[in-house]
C-alpha cells in the first residue's frame, strides 16, 4: 500500500508540474510541497517508532498509518493548479479525502477521513457526520489517532522549516517587505491563555510567529514534542521570537507560557 501511495503522490506532483511548468512561482511551490510531503513522512516515521500505543500494533496497521501520513497533501498539487488558474477556495484536505475514498486501494475511512481534517481544528473532525456515524468505537478511535499523527507530523515539518530555512520564511510570513509590528492585544490574550492563536492575527512577522509558536498547544503526542526538541526546532523558534518581538514584557511572558506547556501539558504518549 505504501509503495502505491508514493506512486499516486508522484503522479499528482508530476501532473501539476506539467501544467505550471512555465510559471516559476507555482513550479517552485509544487517542488516545495513535494519535499514537504516527504518531510512529513519522515516525521511520521519517527512518531510511529516512538508512540507507545503503536508499539503492539500489526504491521498492516502501521503501513496504513504511514500511508495516510504520506498522502495527507495528495491534492495539494491540484490546489496549486487551481491557484495557478486564479481559482481560490479549493480545500486540498477535503479534495484529498474525496479522491481517496473513491479509490479501492485507499478507501479505508482511517485514511481519507483523517486527511480530510488534517488542516482543520480537531473539533471539525468530531463534528463531522461521517466520524459521528462510525458505530465501532475502536474504529472511531483509530481515525482520531491517525488524524493526530498526521497533524503532529505536519506541524513538525513546518516548524522545522520555519526554524532552519530562512529562504523559505516568506511562505510563513508573506513577502519580504512584510512589515514588522507589535503584537495586537487580541493575539496576546490568546497566546498567554495557552491556546492556538487565530490566523487573523498574522498581520506582521512577529504576530505570525506567535501564531506558529501557539501550534505547540495543538500538538498531541509527547514524541512530537521530543522530536522538535531533538532537532533544536523549539529553541530556535523561541530565540527568533525573542529577537523579533519588541515588546519584551510579552516576549518573556509568552516564552514562559510555552516552556511551561512543554513541561506540564498532558501530551499523549
Residue 208 CA from chain centroid, whole number: 16
Q: Please check whether residues 115 and 178 belong to one and the same domain.
A: no
Residue 106 backbone class (left: φ over 0; alpha: ψ -120 to 50; beta: rest)? alpha
Q: Is residue 46 part of a domain?
A: yes
Q: Is residue 146 part of a domain?
A: yes
CA angle 12, 113, 151 (to 5 degrees): 80
Q: Is residue 269 part of a domain?
A: no
Q: Is residue 155 part of a domain?
A: no
Range of the domain at 134: 2-150
Q: Please check whether residues 143 and 221 belong to one and the same domain.
A: no
User: What is the structure's pLDDT at 173?
Assistant: 81
User: What is the structure's pLDDT at 109?
Assistant: 98
pLDDT tens column, 14-55: 999 999 999 999 999 999 999 999 999 999 999 999 999 999
Residue 146 CA to residue 155 CA, distance in Å, equals 14
Q: Please check whether residues 140 and 179 belong to one and the same domain.
A: no
Query: What pLDDT band is residue 264 in, cutting at 50, 70 and 90?
Result: very high
Query: Which residues does 229 contact at the CB level (< 8 Å), separation at least 6?
Result: 235, 262
% of the chain exceeding 90 in pLDDT: 87
Q: Is the dihedral angle over the CA atoms 75, 163, 232, 249 positive or is it negative?
A: negative
Contact (Cβ atoms closer than 8 angstroms) between residue 56 and residue 66: no
Q: Is residue 157 part of a domain?
A: no
Q: Please check whether residues 135 and 176 belong to one and the same domain.
A: no
Query: What pLDDT band is residue 157 in, cutting at 50, 70 and 90?
Result: very high
pTM of the full structure: 0.93
User: What is the structure's pLDDT at 179?
Assistant: 62
Task: Tell whether the model's pLDDT for residue 258 goes beyond 70.
Answer: yes
Q: Is residue 162 part of a domain?
A: no
pLDDT tens column, 72-106: 999 999 999 999 999 999 999 999 999 999 999 99
Q: Pick the more confident residue, 120 or 257.
A: 257
CA angle 114, 117, 118 (to 5 degrees): 80
Task: Show which of 150, 182, 201 is a domain's final residue.
Answer: 150
Q: Is residue 57 part of a domain?
A: yes
How many domains does one find in the chain? 2
Stretch among 85-94, 133-142, 169-178 having the lowest mean pLDDT = 169-178
Task: Show which of 115, 150, 185 is a domain's final residue.
Answer: 150
Which grid coordinates belong to 108? Answer: 479505508
Amino acid at each position: 500500500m505504501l509503495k502505491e501511495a508514493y506512486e499516486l503522490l508522484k503522479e499528482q506532483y508530476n501532473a501539476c508540474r506539467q501544467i505550471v511548468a512555465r510559471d516559476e512561482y507555482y513550479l517552485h511551490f509544487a517542488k516545495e510541497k513535494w519535499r514537504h510531503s516527504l518531510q512529513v513522512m519522515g516525521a511520521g516515521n519517527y512518531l510511529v517508532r516512538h508512540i507507545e500505543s503503536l508499539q503492539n500494533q500489526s504491521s498492516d496497521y502501521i503501513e496504513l498509518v504511514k500511508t495516510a501520513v504520506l498522502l495527507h497533501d495528495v491534492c495539494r498539487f491540484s490546489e496549486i493548479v487551481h491557484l495557478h488558474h486564479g481559482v481560490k477556495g479549493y480545500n486540498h484536505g477535503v479534495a484529498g479525502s474525496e479522491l481517496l475514498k473513491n479509490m479501492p486501494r485507499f478507501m479505508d475511512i482511517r485514511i481519507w477521513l483523517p486527511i480530510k481534517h488534517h488542516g482543520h481544528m480537531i473539533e471539525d473532525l468530531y463534528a463531522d457526520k461521517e466520524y459521528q456515524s462510525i458505530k465501532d468505537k475502536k474504529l472511531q478511535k483509530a481515525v482520531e489517532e491517525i488524524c493526530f499523527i498526521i497533524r503532529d507530523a505536519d506541524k513538525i515539518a513546518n516548524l522545522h522549516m520555519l526554524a532552519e530555512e530562512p529562504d523559505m520564511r516568506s511562505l510563513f510570513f508573506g513577502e519580504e517587505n512584510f512589515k514588522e509590528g507589535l503584537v495586537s492585544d487580541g493575539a496576546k490574550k490568546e497566546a498567554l491563555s495557552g491556546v492556538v492563536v487565530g490566523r487573523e492575527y498574522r498581520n506582521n512577522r512577529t504576530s505570525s510567529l506567535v501564531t506558529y509558536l501557539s501550534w505547540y498547544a495543538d500538538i498531541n503526542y509527547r514524541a512530537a514534542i521530543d522530536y522538535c526538541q531533538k532537532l533544536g526546532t523549539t529553541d530556535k523558534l523561541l530565540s527568533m521570537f525573542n529577537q523579533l518581538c519588541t515588546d519584551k514584557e510579552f516576549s518573556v511572558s509568552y516564552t514562559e507560557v510555552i516552556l511551561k506547556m512543554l513541561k506540564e501539558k498532558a501530551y499523549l504518549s
